[in-house]
Amino acid sequence: MKILSKYRFSGFAFMLCASMFLITSCSFDEQVDPNRPSLAGVLTDASQNQLNNLVVGVESAMRNGIAIQTTGSGTMARELYLFDADPRNTGDLLGANGSSLDNNSFYSTAPWGGRYRSIKNANILLQSLENTASVTDVQKAGYRGFANTIIAYELIEVLRSYNRARVDVADPDNLGPILEFTAVLTEIRALLNTAVSDLNAAGSEFAFSLGGFDGFDTPSTFLQFNRAVEALAAVYAGDGSGALTALGASYFNLNGDLTVGPKHVFSLGAGDITNDLFKIASVSADEANNADQIIVHNSWINEAEPGDSRVMAKAAVRPNPTAQDNLNGTHETRLYVSNISPIDLMRNEELILLYAEANILSGNLTDAESALNVIRSSASLPDYSGMQTADALTTELLNQRRYSLWAENHRMFDLRRYGLSNGLPIDRAGDQVFNVLPIPLSENEGQ
């Protein structure tokens, strides 16, 4: 794997003009830092190195706010609690004592800001390509295919949390409106199809390297990721047939390794970041990690089928139960092994679940059941034995997504899109169920 050391940027170079005894007049040519170029420097005749650094910036920024977005949505969906020093994590997000979500707190601003930072970098890359001769037209097609695919993926992440998004953001002085869910999905799918044309015209190799896309780092293999994102968007749009077509051109493999797929990668290198969803394991009752811990919601433990290996793989019994703000839990996270463990963008396991959902939408119930049995088998569970109806298989699908994709920013949206949020447990008297984050205050100005 290419370590994300390429995500680190050096500081600005500088020049000095002096003599030992006398400082004479000197002139400076305008300098553009090749490792951290100015906006003006890359929008006009950008070098290939500058374009490649923009690619690094796009991929690096995709990781911004992931932990806050995941723990926020996971708390709202009663997957987990984040027990730390900030009372908003166990107060606001659960609607304690009738409180409302704040559109100017970290849990509403960080996910939005993280997604749009990556989109901004991608838009700068697209604009820079229009004014440079440093790369060929074939190479430009590769950059465009990459950028538009990532923009589409990030907009899906915005939809999951906010149910709306601002699509037209290329010109910060003339932002487009915040669009509703269906309109955003239409724009996302158009972006993905535009990217397909570019990726098909991009030759056999990219002119840039990627950090977390091992196995998906050429135009043809990155196109498989593009089609996976299209399958996701199609399912969210209720287009089962379109999703199945897209999956057929992706890295979906019903009998393949469930872990295959691009990832966010982390390192301990200077200037890089670590995986903030990793939490130190509690060793004993005397050494329990109580100050900063992801506690598994008791319902996720208690409602699991006996023998589901995902429970043991993703969670562990605490040496002593913990409580905070009248909330409690017996288990804590084991989802990530270390603070540099990668986080999946979309792995084959999710694609199999999308395949099952697309087949339910298309009325292919036998194929849907077969896919769900692949997931059940991987979790050491027997084959599905319920009714083969669309409703029954949808219930089974959502249950398998609940355990396969625990604490990966899916559950809140899954419940919302199926109208099931009201079935979530109320953990304390006075709590409420929220299933969408408020658009940040700064974004609502002028709306």
Question: Parallel, antiparallel, or unpaired for β 315-324 and 327-333?
Answer: antiparallel
In three-state secondary structure terms, 81 is strand
Count of CB atoms situated within 10 Å of the CB of 308: 16
Q: What contacts 18, CB < 8 A, 6 or more positions away? A: none
Task: Evaluate whether 36 touches 12 at the Cβ level (below 8 Å).
Answer: yes
The residues that bridge with 82 in the sheet, in sequence order, are 294
Output 26 or 107, whichever has higher pLDDT: 107
Count of CB atoms situated within 10 Å of the CB of 124: 21
Confidence at residue 322, expressed as pLDDT on a 0 to 100 scale:
79
Nearest 5°: CA angle at 49, between 14 and 153? 120
The residues that bridge with 327 in the sheet, in sequence order, are 324
Provide the residue type at 100 as one letter.
Answer: S
Query: Is pLDDT of 3 > 60?
Result: no
Confidence at residue 285, expressed as pLDDT on a 0 to 100 scale:
63
Nearest 5°: CA angle at 374, between 370 and 375? 120
Query: Is pLDDT of 288 > 70?
Result: no
Closest Cα partner for 436 from 67, 69, 71, 73? 73
Nearest 5°: CA angle at 397, between 193 and 329? 115
- Rounded Cα distance, 69 and 59, in Å: 17
Count of CB atoms situated within 10 Å of the CB of 107: 25
Kindly report, residue by residue over 352-403, the tens digit of the pLDDT.
999 999 999 999 999 999 999 999 999 999 999 999 999 999 999 999 999 9
- Rounded Cα distance, 2 and 135, in Å: 23
What is the mean pLDDT of the segment spanning 117-121? 97
pLDDT band at 290 (very low <50, low <70, confident <90, very high): low
Task: Evaluate whether 215 touches 221 at the Cβ level (below 8 Å).
Answer: yes
Task: Tell me which architecture the domain covering 45-271+342-346 has in CATH.
Answer: Alpha Horseshoe (1.25)
Confidence at residue 283, expressed as pLDDT on a 0 to 100 scale:
79
Task: Evaluate whether 379 touches 308 at the Cβ level (below 8 Å).
Answer: yes
Task: Evaluate whether 246 touches 230 at the Cβ level (below 8 Å).
Answer: yes
Element (H, E) at 222: helix 219-236
Q: DSSP states of 326-348 as a string?
A: TEEEEEEE-S-SSTT--EESS-H
Confidence at residue 441, expressed as pLDDT on a 0 to 100 scale:
96
- Rounded Cα distance, 206 and 110, in Å: 31
- Rounded Cα distance, 396 and 365, in Å: 12
Q: DSSP states of 358-404 as a string?
A: HHHHHT-HHHHHHHHHHHHHHTT-PPP-S--SHHHHHHHHHHHHHHH
pLDDT band at 10 (very low <50, low <70, confident <90, very high): very low
What are the domain boundaries of the chain? 45-271+342-346
pLDDT band at 289 (very low <50, low <70, confident <90, very high): low
What is the mean pLDDT of the segment spanning 113-141? 97
Task: Evaluate whether 79 touches 407 at the Cβ level (below 8 Å).
Answer: yes
What is the mean pLDDT of the segment spanning 227-244? 98
